[in-house]
Every structure is written in C-alpha cells, then in structure tokens.
C-alpha cells in the first residue's frame, strides 16, 4: 500500500495526533501511524493540521483597488458605495482579473481555499461578472470560487439591475444576492427579498443577501428572508450577510426573530473587520459596534460563519486574506473568550463556512478532498492567538504553498532571548 502524499504526525483540530495518507485528490487514510511509503512525506510533527480556511463573504471585483480613484474619507458604507460607483466606469476586464488573481495568490498562501465572492451586477457591461467567471476557471485547481449575483445599487433602485442580475445568473453565476436595505423604501426592500428568493427557487440556487447592513434597529429584512426561505422550501440554502441592524434591535423583537431564523435554517455571515469599521459612524457616544448577535444565534443552533468582506478596497483599507485575522477580530467583538468559544471561532472560518457554502467535500476525514493546511501552532486556539504561519498548504492533493518553520529564537540586544513564538505559547498553554 502506498500513497502519493503523507502528512505525518500532525495534530488535528479535535486534539488527535494522526498521519494523513493522500491518494490523488482524496484523503485515503487517517491513522495514528501509517506504515507505508509515499511519493512525498510532509513532517507535521506537533503542528496543527486543519481543513482549509473558507471565506463565505468577499468582494473580489473590488479587491486591491484601494485609493482608486480616491479613498473613503468618511469611512461609511454609503461613501464606499458612492466611491465604488466612481471606480466602476474605470474598470477593465484585464485589471479586475489581474487584481483578483493576485488576491487568489494571497489567499492560497494563507490556506484560504474556498471563497464566496459577490460580484456587482449593476453595470450594463457585466464586465466584472465576465472577469470573475474567467478567474473562477483559472483558480479551479486550487480554489473553490463561488460567485453571487449582487445588485450593489439596488435590485429595483438601479434601473437595469433587475435584468442584469438575471443575465448574470444566465451566464453561470452560482448564487442569488441582494441588498434590500439599500432599496428606496422598506417596502421595496421587502419586495426585492421576495422576488430574489423566487428567482433562486425557480433556478435551484442558493441565496446570500447583504441584509440589514445598517445601524437602523427597524431594518428588518432578515425577517422577510427567513419567511421566504420557509415559504419557498429553501431551508439550508439561504444566508443573511452582515445583519448589523440586529446589534441595535429591540430585545423583545429579537426573541421572536431568532427562533424564526433557526426554524428556516437561515445561516448568518457577520463580517467583523468591516462591521466594526463601518458601523456606528453616525453615533457619538456610546458608539455602537454593529456586530450581529453571534453567540445568541449559535445558542439556538443557527449556523454562523465569519466572513472577510473586503481587502484594500473602497470600504476597507487593510487586510491580508487571512481568515485568522477575521476570526481574531470576531472573537473580540463578540466576546467569545472561553476556550470552547475560541475553538468555535476557528471552526467557523473552516468547517462552518464550508457548510454555509455547501462544500461537503471539504474537511479532515477519509473520503474528503485532500485540501489541508499545516499551521505553526499546536491547536486551534494557539493558531488564533499567534495568527500562526501557514507552513504548508495542500489543495486537491498537491502542495501549493510552503514556507520554512521559523524556529530561531528572538534576539534581544544582540543576545538570544531563548524565547520564540512557540516557546511563549507553550509556556502560556501548558498541557
Ligand atoms: Fe459585502
């Protein structure tokens, strides 16, 4: 018996130590010790071996455009949308593709192997849609790229968004998106949720809507989204992204809303880096932070994943394609500080996000696709604490990124301190 690749001695997220044997694109064995030969063996002794990182909310058509043609002065969502409107006529197919591919390289180096990106359909040329469909094909050997038809300027508010969104779906975009809180009236927002869910139902597609991305406690489109999910039989196929208004909603109302979301099996995708940056900008003090009610939803069994949303674009001036940064911020803002909650945050940016995107083939188990990440950390919590280095990234059975382990101790005033990041970690987490 032989394998194409063995990842030896790694620690799995559940605490087991195991060898992982890979044949072709598939995980063929997970055993305490595999006595077999392999074309290549990766020594992961003591390192965390995890399922790949997954980002369920991104904007790849806008990424790496920071500063073009100017920066967002107010830091608000609305100025970001206006700025994107200025940038859109300047876009070219080549430039969108080049930036997206560069971002995909960053993603792979961070072990981020599945991304759901929204793509703006409010452009009669549908240039970004065509460019990202090309990118999807190019990166398919190492990244699962899922596209969401996203009418950024409003499905009804923009005069041609409706027809262009439908055209984008005809071209092969995977998921139906929307932005009900940006329509002209609450009633139009509600109507847009209904029509977009009906489109998804007819086409057998998933739904992922930007929903209630506002500090207005009365923005309640998530209620309609849960209702339509139930009515149209879309259970398990629908996600509400952002849901920031829930931060400000009346508690009694939320006590009715969350069980409805749970019943409809609607997932939630908060984007902590962006939510904490954009929300509360109209407040003085106390200043709301705009993160939705993560722990409260999880307590009711609602699937909640952390999304990244933006990297270097009209809405956000930072970012590195690192889902550990996203989870780290989410952990803080949602106050998920217990060991169990911290471990859950790691699970959110790997397995939970994969489940939200319907990617059943990902995960560390026999029969799953051989896509794995080896991290310079002993367990998921340590990975979060250190935002640990990705030592090796395997996609579909092939090593696609590697970096040497940095074992050198820190030097203090020219003398070795005897302390490196891992030593420090083991002192703080004696096990
Ligand atoms: Fe977004």
Same domain, 103 and 68: yes
pLDDT for the residue numbered 406: 77
Percent of the chain exceeding pLDDT 90 equals 93
Q: What is the reported pLDDT for 408? A: 55
Distance between Cα 233 and ligand 1 center (Å): 25
CATH number at residue 260: 3.20.20.140
CB atoms within 10 A of CB 416: 11
Q: Would the pLDDT of 99 be above 90?
A: yes
Looking at the fold, whether 223 and 305 belong to one and the same domain comes out as: yes
Look-up of token digits 């992922």: 208
pLDDT band at 370 (very low <50, low <70, confident <90, very high): very high
Same domain, 407 and 295: no
Identify each DSSP E strand in 96-237 by its residue range: 112-120, 144-150, 175-176, 206-211
Per-residue pLDDT band at 429 (split at 50, 70, 90): very low
Residues 226, 164: one domain?
yes
Distance CA 238, CA 331 (A): 24
- Quote the pLDDT of residue 426: 47
The model's confidence at residue 425, banded by pLDDT at 50, 70 and 90, is: very low
Considering the domain architecture, whether residues 21 and 87 belong to the same structural domain is answered as no
CATH of the domain at 19: 2.30.40.10
Same domain, 46 and 59: no
d(C-alpha 368, C-alpha 395), whole Å:
12
- Distance (angstroms) between ligand 1 centre and the Cα of 8 equals 39
Domain boundary among 329, 356, 383: 356
Omega of the bond leading into 69 within 30 degrees of 0 (cis): yes
Task: From 356, 383, 417, give the residue that closes a domain.
Answer: 356
Residue 163 CA, ligand 1 centroid: distance in Å: 21
CA of 314 to the centre of ligand 1 (A): 11
| CA gap 217, 286 in Å, rounded | 16
Query: Ligand 1 center to residue 218 CA distance, Å?
Result: 20
Q: Is the pLDDT reported for residue 255 higher than 50?
A: yes
On whether both 184 and 331 belong to a single domain, the answer is yes
Residue 120 CA: distances (Å) to CA of 115, 117, 130, 140, 222: 16, 10, 11, 21, 21
38 and 164 assigned to the same domain = no
Q: Are residues 416 and 325 in the same domain?
A: no
pLDDT beyond 70 at 430:
no
309 alpha carbon – ligand 1 mean position (Å): 5
Please give the residue range of the domain that contains residue 407.
2-51+363-427
Whether residue 310 is found in the same domain as residue 406: no
Query: Pairing relation of β-strands 415-416 and 411-412?
Result: antiparallel
* Catalytic residue set: 213
pLDDT tens profile 307-355: 999 999 999 999 999 999 999 999 999 999 999 999 999 999 999 999 9
pLDDT > 70? residue 414: no
Q: For residue 405, what pLDDT is reported?
A: 85
Same domain, 280 and 270: yes
Q: What is the mean pLDDT of the chain?
A: 95
Q: Say which residues have a Cβ less than 8 Å from residue 323's Cβ, sequence separation at least 6.
A: 53, 54, 55, 110, 112, 306, 308, 349, 350
Domain count, the chain: 2
Tokens for 366, please give them. 């026999």
End-to-end CA distance of the chain: 35
* CA 214 – ligand 1 centroid, Å: 12
Taking only the tens place, the pLDDT of each residue in 273-307 is 999 999 999 999 999 999 999 999 999 999 999 99
Cβ atoms of 245 and 271 within 8 Å: the answer is no
- Distance in Å, CA 257 to ligand 1 centroid: 22
Q: Summarize pLDDT for 376-413 with one digit per residue, the tens.
A: 999 999 999 999 999 999 999 999 999 988 765 666 66
Distance from residue 58's CA to the centre of ligand 1 (Å): 6
Distance 255 CA to ligand 1 centre (A): 26
How many residues in total does the chain contain?
431
The residue among 332, 356, 380 that closes a domain is 356
Ligand 1 centroid, distance to 67 Cα (angstroms): 18
Q: How far is the CA of 276 from the centre of ligand 1 (A)?
A: 13
Q: What is the pTM of this model?
A: 0.95
Question: How far is residue 266's CA from residue 32's CA, in Å, rounded to a whole number?
Answer: 38
Residue 379 and residue 293 in one domain: no
Per-residue pLDDT band for 1 (boundaries 50, 70, 90) equals confident
pLDDT in tens, 147-187: 999 999 999 999 999 999 999 999 999 999 999 999 999 99
């Amino acid at each position: 018996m032989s394998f194409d690749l063995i990842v030896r001695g790694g620690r799995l997220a559940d605490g087991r130590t195991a060898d992982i044997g890979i044949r072709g694109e598939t995980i063929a064995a997970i055993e305490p010790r595999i006595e077999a030969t392999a074309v290549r063996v990766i020594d992961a002794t003591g390192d965390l071996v995890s399922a790949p990182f997954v980002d369920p909310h991104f904007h790849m058509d806008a990424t790496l455009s920071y500063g073009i043609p100017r920066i967002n002065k107010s830091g608000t969502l609305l100025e970001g949308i206006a700025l994107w409107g200025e940038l859109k006529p300047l876009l070219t197919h080549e430039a969108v593709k080049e930036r997206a591919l560069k971002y995909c390289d960053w993603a792979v180096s961070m072990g981020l192997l599945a991304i759901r990106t929204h793509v703006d359909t409010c452009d009669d040329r549908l240039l970004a849609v065509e460019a990202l469909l090309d990118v999807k094909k190019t990166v398919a050997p190492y990244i699962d790229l899922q596209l969401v038809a996203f009418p950024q300027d409003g499905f009804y508010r923009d005069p041609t968004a409706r027809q262009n969104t439908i055209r984008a779906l005809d071209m092969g975009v995977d998921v139906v998106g929307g932005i009900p809180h940006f329509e002209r009236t609450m009633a139009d927002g509600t109507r847009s949720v209904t029509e977009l869910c009906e489109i998804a139902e007819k086409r057998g597609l998933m739904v992922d809507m930007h929903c209630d991305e506002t500090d207005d406690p009365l923005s309640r489109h998530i209620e309609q989204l849960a209702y339509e999910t139930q009515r149209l039989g879309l259970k398990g196929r629908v996600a509400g992204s952002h849901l920031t208004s829930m931060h400000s909603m009346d508690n009694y109302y939320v006590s009715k809303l969350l069980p409805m979301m749970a019943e409809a099996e609607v997932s939630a995708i908060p984007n902590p880096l962006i939510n904490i940056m954009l929300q509360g900008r109209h407040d003085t003090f106390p200043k709301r932070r705009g993160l939705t009610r993560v722990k409260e939803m999880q307590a009711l069994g609602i699937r909640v994943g952390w999304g990244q949303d933006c990297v270097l674009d009209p809405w956000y001036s930072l970012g590195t394609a690192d889902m550990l940064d996203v989870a780290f911020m989410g952990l803080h803002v949602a106050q998920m500080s217990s060991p169990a909650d911290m471990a859950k945050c790691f699970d959110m940016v790997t397995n939970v996000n994969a489940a939200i995107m319907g990617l059943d083939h990902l995960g560390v188990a026999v029969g799953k696709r051989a896509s794995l990440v080896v991290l310079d950390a002993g367990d998921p919590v340590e990975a979060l604490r250190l935002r640990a280095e990705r030592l090796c990234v395997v996609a579909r059975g092939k090593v696609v990124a590697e970096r040497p382990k940095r074992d050198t101790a820190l030097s203090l005033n020219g003398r070795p301190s005897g302390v490196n990041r891992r030593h420090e970690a083991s002192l703080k987490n004696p096990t």
